Amino acid sequence: MDAAAHDTHDAHDEPHLTPYSVYVGIWLALIALTGVTVLASVVDMKHQAIFVALFVATAKSTLVVLYFMHIAFENRVFWWFLLSAIATFVIFVLLTFADYAYR
């Protein structure tokens, strides 16, 4: 075995260390967004409530996926899989809203 072969490795092989302050900030943001969800359910917003709930849920899931599932630090292949899943989800949600709107 050549010693130089052991020296060449991908930068992704190194573990990514995220400071605890980032996780605490994400946790506080998730708590604040949960408060927004509760506040939106108490305030009478009629038809806008569903859009506020979907926006907050999207923001919370984005934070969880990016930081707690470490997608923010992964290869671009994972990003493509994630984006294709999100695109599929958006298509189904839009089709559901279209179906509901024309009933």
pLDDT of 75-92, one tens digit each?
A: 888 889 988 998 999 999
Residues 5-53 have pLDDT tens digits of 555 545 556 677 888 999 999 999 999 999 999 998 888 888 888 888 8
> Is the model's pLDDT at 94 over the cut of 90?
yes
Q: What is this structure's pTM? A: 0.66
Quote the CA–CA distance of 92 and 24 in Å, as a whole number. 34
Contact assessment for residue 56 and residue 37, using Cβ atoms and an 8 Å cutoff: yes
- Residues with Cβ within 8 Å of residue 69, at least 6 apart in sequence: none
Apex CA 60: angle with CA 27 and CA 71, to 5°? 85
